Amino acid sequence: MARIIVVTSGKGGVGKTTSSAAISTGLAQRGKKTVVIDFDIGLRNLDLIMGCERRVVYDFVNVINGEATLNQALIKDKRVENLFILPASQTRDKDALTKEGVEKIINKLQEMDFDYIICDSPAGIETGALMALYFADEAIVTTNPEVSSVRDSDRILGILASKSRRAEQSLEPVKEHLLLTRYAPGRVNRGDMLSVEDVQEILAIPLLGVIPESQAVLRASNSGEPVIFDQTSDAGQAYLDTVARLLGEKRDFRFLQEEKKGFFNRLFGG
């Protein structure tokens, strides 16, 4: 059975879609048959970050409504074997998603022998977000190290514990992971940002990854390349570590300390 993982947060702009793209790509690179689903009906972005926006013909809602088959809507990634994208609709209302419709798609994907189904959730707690987390076995709760973002993520943890299918059916709870994005050790040291320990203390869930603030993320998004491909960047390496931990491997947490600049860097302002 596929592991169904929702990438979620309470607040917008924390890097959920960037993380969904990077993690699903990383899993496929490791030989896992992976599909990533965009649940952000009306504001489709995953296809842009995955670099396949021109290949979208049918979408998630078309399949739910019986206007296309799942095979017609799934986009096979050209760079990585085993990676597929199911785009969202840009023209439908968010209420186009129903539990019955989403369950039908999830069940069909299970029959197609996927190892991982990654659900890229929109921000907040409206229909798309609730649908994305309802069927999850695991949740990657994505947050920036700032109070409002962490508080909103805490609310999402409450919803996972009460409104998911696992909660409704009194099954084992959704397995929760913390992904901390846009982390800047220098700002933490100046007291401008919460530390990893601060966030862990508030949310009290296991740490999966810490993604440093990096221009590479913006460059990758603009070029339609998941940042995990940029293995020279700190962010790309941090996502590789995150995927490894998701697969059960032990990896040290890097990029938690401010990089000390050498003499020539300081001298020439590098």
> What residues form the annotated binding site?
11-18
User: Tokens in use for 26?
Assistant: 């990383």
The bridge status of strand 83-86 relative to strand 138-143 is unpaired
- Contacts (Cβ under 8 Å, ≥6 apart) of 110: 1, 2, 117
Comparing C-alpha atoms, which of 73, 75, 92, 93 is closest to residue 84? 75
Residues at the binding site for ATP are 11-18
- H helix and E strand count, the chain: 13, 8
Residue with tokens 């069927």: 135
Which parts of the chain fold into alpha helices (H)? 16-29, 46-49, 60-64, 70-73, 99-111, 127-134, 147-163, 165-168, 185-189, 196-203, 215-223, 234-246, 263-267
User: How distant, in Å, are the alpha carbons of 185, 233, 261, 263, 264 from that of 267?
Assistant: 22, 24, 10, 6, 5
Query: What is the rounded CA–CA span in Å between residue 65 and residue 60?
Result: 9
Name residues whose C-beta falls within 8 Å of residue 11's C-beta, 6 or more positions apart in sequence. Answer: 123, 143, 144, 148, 149, 152, 153
